[in-house]
Every structure is written in C-alpha cells, then in structure tokens.
Amino acid sequence: MPDITCLPVDGESAPVVAIGETVLPVAEIVHACHERTVDQGMAALGLDAETLEPILTYCAELRCEADEATCPGCKRRTEARGIATMDDFIARHREIVVGDGSVRLVGQGEGTLHTPALAALEKTWSGQNYWFWARRVIRKLRHGIRRAHIQGSAVAAQGETPAIILVEPQLADNIGMVSRAMANFGLDELRLVAPRDGWPNEKARIAASGANYIIDDAQAHATFEDSIADLNWVAATTARQRDLRKPVLSPEATIKEIKTRIARGERCGILFGRERNGLETSEIANADAIVMIPVNSRFASLNLAQATLLLGYEWMRTNDDASLGRVTTYEQPVQEGLYLNRDKPATKAEMEGLYAHLEAELERLGFFNTPHKRPTVVRNIRTMLGRMQATEQEVRTLRGIVATLAQGKGHGRKSPL
C-alpha cells in the first residue's frame, strides 16, 4: 500500500504520494486517471491497479478531513478557506490576469492567477469535486467501463447506409456521441479523418454509451481525399454560406437524394467539419452538394452529435422498420395516436349509459334549476365528455365517481333525502 503523507503544497498541507523519486499530490493522480482512461492514467504515473486503488479510496472517502489537509484545486480547499463567492476568490489574490492581460482583476491578497477568460474563471473558481471523480475512477478500476460488454451489430449491409465522415475531430467524446446518434437512427458506417487524439480511443467508446459496434468498425483515414475515395456522391454540412456553385439541400432533400442513389447501387457519404470552424471551403468544393439545416440565423452552429442526429432522424423516419421508441421482449411497437394497450374504446352504448347516469343524478340533486336551459346544458355535457374518447375502463371509473358523489360509499353513504 502506498504511503500517503501530508506536506506543504502551495503553502498549505496537502496529501501526497511518493512514486519512485517523484512526489505527487493525490489530486493530481485522481485528475490524471479521470481525464484519461484508467489504463492511460496508470501508465503515465507509473502505477498499477493494486497501488492506485488505495490512493483513490483515500480521496473518495474524504480521509483528508481527518488529516486536516486539502489538495490544490479541490473544492474542499476553497471551502476550508471560507471562500463562498467568486468575489471572495478574487479578493484572495493580488491580481487575476484575464486572457492577454487587457483585463485584470485586482484583489487584496497575494499572488497572481492567469485565466483564459472570465467565463472559465466562473466555472473553476470554486475548485473540483475530486472525491467524486475518485469514486468514478474506482468503479471503472473495479468493474470496467459501463456498457463495454454491449456489442450490437450493424443494421444494414455495407453501402446500404451513407457513411458519416468526421473531418479532423478534436474531441474523442464527440466521436463517441456521434456514434451514439448514428446507432439511434440506423447509420452504421463511421469514417474519421486525422482525429486529433488518435484512433482507437477509449474515451470515444465511453461516450458512445453502448454503440460500441460503430466505434469498433470505424475507419481512420490519414487524409480527406482517402476518406471519400470510394464514394460516388458526397454531401457537405455547413452553417456558413459558401461562394460555390453547388446544390444547397435541406436535410430532407439530402436524405431523399441519398436513398435514390443508394437504390441505384451508388456509395454516399455526409461530411461534418471540425468542432472549431467546420469544413474548409476547399473540402466543400470536393462535395457534390451542400447541406444546410434550418436554424436560428443568429445562432446557427450545431455540435457534431446534434448535426448527425438531425440527418439521422431524416434517414430513419422514411424507413419502413422505424420504431417509435424501443422494442424489447416486453415492449411492443407503438403506433401514432392514442395508446390503449389492452384497453378498448368505449362503445356508444356505454357512453349513453354514462350520460343517462350522470343526468339522472344531476336531475335528482337539482342541478337543472332552469328547465328551459336543460337541453342546452345536457348537450354541452355530452359534447364535453364525448370529446375525451374514453375507454371502457374510464367509463366504468366515471360512473363509479358519479355514484359515490351522489350516494356516498361505505360509512360515507348518504341517508335517503
């Protein structure tokens, strides 16, 4: 078991672990394993599972409280210092430099802090919940990644669905979320052009949340040209107008064109650009059409998974095998309209019985105190109740309610008038 001691770090007592010649704060170890996969974190720090788990447990169980120690960057340190607001945080520093230094926040404390933007400072000033991260990493260490056992399988043969092509994706998480959106709507083929964090990537598998077969079958290409070389027709998504003489299509028109071409035996693909700035004009120039999604013109940017989801929805909604929601051993396909399950709509005779029962009790209790208005009131009541399209069970329930209100029930039964 590693020896966890408390030493001064940034002027305050913090739990640290000696790993060979290196002394690391516990928070740094937790952070490394949380931000990367557990295996990558252990490899980078020179740890194995047997050594790592006691360190994580120390943090997860907040044993630092008994040692009167806190880690740099941990929310517990902020709380221990009595910092309750962002204003308190700023006051603890001599100066906080924002971005390139054109904005500076002056406090009454010591030291200078650099932050890329005020928005980033707003999110990070209070620190991180390292103990929560540690608990998550422990679960992964002991039980593996959730849903890693789920394999799934493609719903169509190769070429029967358009290839989704992500050009230079920057975040593995986004690749995973795109894969999940693809699996939702029956798109099987994922291609990646020079993913920044390399391929394969375990973070993408985690974010895919069970769409592992798409992650496993994804192809990584070194160049844009390689990724589209075997395709006959390619559509490029963009939110910005481009000065290119190409057809501009809506998602609906794009999918209609793709289905027509696939039926003729052609291979098709849909291009999605970088998270930072989308597709380059030179890349769109290699496409056969431009896809533009109806959006708020003042806020037109979609993330990769959202854009894929919209195109995927258009693909699935025209498929004969599309389902409203999931279908399992215990859940049957659902159709549009009123969901009745095993219930049956009430017959006209059953509704007439309800009307007669209600009208008789209302008559007995003096509801129709203006005789000449009775036909109009009765007609309105029947119209109102008829509009609800009651089931047989609902009619029985309503008649029970009428009887109880009129006569009472059990000990509450009313005496005869």
**Positions of the chain with pLDDT under 50:** 146-149
The Cα 407–Cα 319 span in angstroms is 55
pLDDT for 149: 47
Q: What is the 3-state secondary structure (H, E, C) of 317-369?
A: HCCCCCCCCCCCCCCCCCCCCCCCCCCCECCHHHHHHHHHHHHHHHHHCCCCC
Q: Give the residues across from 165 on adjacent strands.
A: 191, 271
* Percent of the chain with pLDDT strictly greater than 70: 89
Assess contact for 221 and 193: CB atoms under 8 A: yes
What CATH number was assigned to the domain covering residues 163-317? Answer: 3.40.1280.10
pLDDT for 320: 64
pLDDT for 326: 59
Assess contact for 229 and 271: CB atoms under 8 A: no
pLDDT for 327: 57
pLDDT for 225: 95
- Write out the two tokens for 394: 């609902």
pLDDT digits (tens, 9 = 90+) for 195-211: 998 898 888 988 898 88
Write the CB contacts of 191 (distance below 8 Å, at least 6 apart in sequence).
163, 164, 165, 166, 218, 219, 220, 221, 227, 269
pLDDT for 17: 87
DSSP string for 245-281? -S-EE-HHHHHHHHHHHHHTT--EEEEE-BTTTB--H
